[in-house]
Amino acid sequence: MTPSQPLVVHITGARPNFPKAAPVLAALEGYPVEQLLVHTGQHYDERMSEVFFRQLGLPEPDVNLGVGSGAHGAQTAATMVGLEELFTGRRPDLVVVYGDVNSTVAAALVASKMGIAVAHVEAGLRSFDRTMPEEINRVLTDRISDLLLVTSVDAAAHLGREGADPDTIHFVGNPMIDTLLRHVGSLDVEGVAAQVGVDTSRPYVVATLHRPGNVDDPADVAELVDSVHAVADQVRVVIPLHPRGRQRLADAGFLDHDDLVVVDPLGYVEFLSLVKGSAAVVTDSGGVQEETTVMGVPCLTLRPNTERPVTITHGTNRLVTRQTLPEAVREVLAAGRQDTWPVPPLWDGQAGPRIAAVLARHVGAG
């Protein structure tokens, strides 16, 4: 690298960021720019981050801030302090942030206040639910970003209604799908199912549940236990259980069902292998709605809203409540997996190159 090359810094902090960043980093290798990969350490254990770097072919982070877990304010503040020091010592030409985690908004705030350009990958997504911390992160990040890289037409429309400059909005597709399509042909359904103790001769459902609206309030937890147990009465349920809320669920009797298989969080490839072989997925995650949409796996999203409505209009997703979940699973099992399904525009495996082209042009290297 020569000193004259513009410096692009990528900020990752939690496991949803990694499959979004991987194709962008790879595509930017084709341009005369220097790249720096920063891991804030928001997800810091082996299962939550390091295994993702290995499986996705991401380079080892150049910087790991090691901020760890904590309350939103403390985590965001620690990230901001670390990044301000980093950007002061090594001033980037462009900071690229991904998704909607605390690291995303922290990096955007620091860079913006220092007069450094910010690019937001996955801009414009809206649940219109301000009780979700991620929604606050999305809105704030978009308002102070210089490049708004959107995954869907509805996201671009949201930004337009909010008054974003049309010249800053770029419809590039979904880089997470680039990563999925790169790996989907080599997923090992049988091997991973055997590893977690699931018999693939019987249908099974995969569940991922960690949102505050499902696992924080004791009354919600009690309803969730009854709902998921009613699903497990019909079909085996495999749940890689997020550390967040695990003890609360266990105390409420969540684990006390013979057809509920609880495993530790899985690596990227292992999780997608399990999803690929499933009859359906029950989730409150954002990214899983997208992955199931492309894989043709019926997805039941246990939330009152979604910031990814394109997965409903152009995919396999539908919203359910804890009360309607058991019947929805019954319907999905009766209908079976479909042979064909719609997929959103530009979810074609080429978002990384499109994003790289926009970033390179912005720093004068395109």
Active-site residue list: 210
Alpha carbons 286 and 274: distance in angstroms, whole number? 17
From residue 136, alpha-carbon distances to 125, 126, 228, 284 in Å are 11, 10, 29, 17
Q: Which residues contact 302 (CB under 8 A, 6 or more apart)?
A: 209, 214, 224, 282, 283, 284, 320, 321, 322, 325
Cα atoms in the 13 Å half-sphere on the side-chain side of 138:
25
Question: Rounded distance, CA 145 to CA 120, Å?
Answer: 6
Q: Which tokens hold the place of 35? A: 């790249």
DSSP SS3 for 35: strand
Q: Name residue, tokens 């019954």.
A: 330
Residues paired with 128 in a beta bridge: none
Encode 329-339: b = buried (16+ Cβ within 10 Å), e = exposed: beebbeeeeee
Distance CA 74, CA 25 (A): 29
- CA-based nearest residue to 260, from 248, 269, 245, 250: 250
Which residue reads 């692009």 in tokens?
8
Q: Compute the chain's Rg from CA coordinates.
A: 20
Calpha distance 203→280 (Å, rounded): 9
* Region label for 349, one of left (φ > 0), alpha (ψ between -120 and 50) or beta (otherwise): left
* In the block, residue with structure tokens 């991401």: 58
Q: How far, in Å, CA of 144 to CA of 355, rounded? A: 19
